[in-house]
Structure 1
Amino acid sequence: MKSLPALFAAAACLLLASCASPIAKRIERNPDIYNKLSERHKSLVSRGEVEEGMSKQAVFIAWGRPDRAFRGSRNGRAMEQWSYLAYDAVPGGWYGPGWGYGGWYGARGGYGYCYDPFYSYQPMVNYVPYERAKVEFSNSKVTAWTR
């Protein structure tokens, strides 16, 4: 009986630990990167914010792994761009042709017609990606960002 409260306490701790924010989890998994940041950048990163002059590592902790990364040059200087995507639910077309189907049934061979309302005219939702945030780096430092 004494182990039952301990079991509930352990389960509650596991539940609370799984509710940590993604930023808190990235800080916990990368303490060496987080501890090297300035106090201002630590404060921004813990709120999920980015500013010019931040390092790539700070942006990674604040916003996570980018969905796309591009390398190129601007004005003769090497640059890198990270892109973060999100998805919008957009109503689309409709499933099914809106017709029933016919077939033979019955012991005497009569013709029957059946309409299936669950197949015809059901709404369809498409998930369309869009760029929700973008960060540009030069010399591994943020030079521009949009959100």
Structure 2
Amino acid sequence: MKTLSVLISCAALALLAGCSTPEARIQGNPQAFASASPGDQQLIREGKVAVGFTPEMVRLALGDPDRVFTRTDANGVNEAWSYTAYESDAGVMLYRGHYHRYWCDPYSYPYYSSYASRRTKEYLKIIFVGGRVASIETQT
């Protein structure tokens, strides 16, 4: 009985880990991946983005954004995607990405989601112009 429990637990962990990887997203949308150049495909596999990527390519590499903004400036209206992390007051990262949205398992919402002194930290912003990545902002 213990062996069965261990096997089920391992399988569940493997499924949860697969939810957030570029490889899992590539398997979910092979057409978008196939449309990328070989160099772009390598970046996507590494979880990286580059100027010129389409929104689909960014999703393959990074997953869905945590926040989406509409940016209006002198050049028109554009879209900005924000990726955030959550950290304690001491600067220790608590979680980021899909962990705070419980995509894979709605019953395992993290206990620290209501952590009283957590801070939101935007670590990446992608700006799209004309349906392509025009700039990438990272926090140093």
TM-score, structure 2 as length reference: 0.65
* Higher radius of gyration, 1 or 2: 1
- Alignment partner of 1:139 out of 124, 130, 135: 130
1:59-98 matched pairs, under 5 angstroms:
59-90=58-89
SS of the residue corresponding to residue 78 of structure 1 reads strand
Root-mean-square deviation over aligned CA pairs: 2.6
Whether the 8 Å CA contact 1:81–1:137 is kept in 2: the answer is yes
Higher strand share: 1
In the other structure, the counterpart of 2:28 is 29
In percent, how many aligned pairs have the same letter? 29
Partner of 2:41: 42
Cα separation, 2, equivalents of 1:85 and 1:37: 26
- Show the counterpart of 2:55: 56
**How far off is 1:73 after superposition?**
2.8
User: Given residue 125 of structure 2, which amino acid in structure 1 is its aligned partner?
Assistant: K
TM superposition shift of 1:125: 5.7
Q: Any stretches of 5+ residues in structure 1 without a counterpart?
A: 1-6, 92-123
1 or 2, which has the higher helix percentage?
A: 2
Alignment match, 1:117: none
Residue 14 of structure 1, CA deviation: 4.3
- Structure 1's consecutive aligned runs of 4 or more residues displaced over 6 angstroms after TM superposition are none
Deviations 1:91-112 (A, max 9, x none): 6xxxxxxxxxxxxxxxxxxxxx
Q: Does the Cα contact within 8 Å between 1:50 and 1:62 map onto a contact in 2? A: yes
Using a 3 Å threshold, how does the CA distance of structure 1 residues 143 and 14 change in structure 2: closer, same or farther?
same
Letter of the 2:136 counterpart? W
Gaps of 5+ in 2: 91-114
For 1:113, the equivalent position in structure 2 comes to none
2:112 is matched with none
AA aligned opposite 2:120: P
- Determine the C-alpha separation between the residues in 1 that align with 2:14 and 2:29: 17
1:115 is aligned to: none
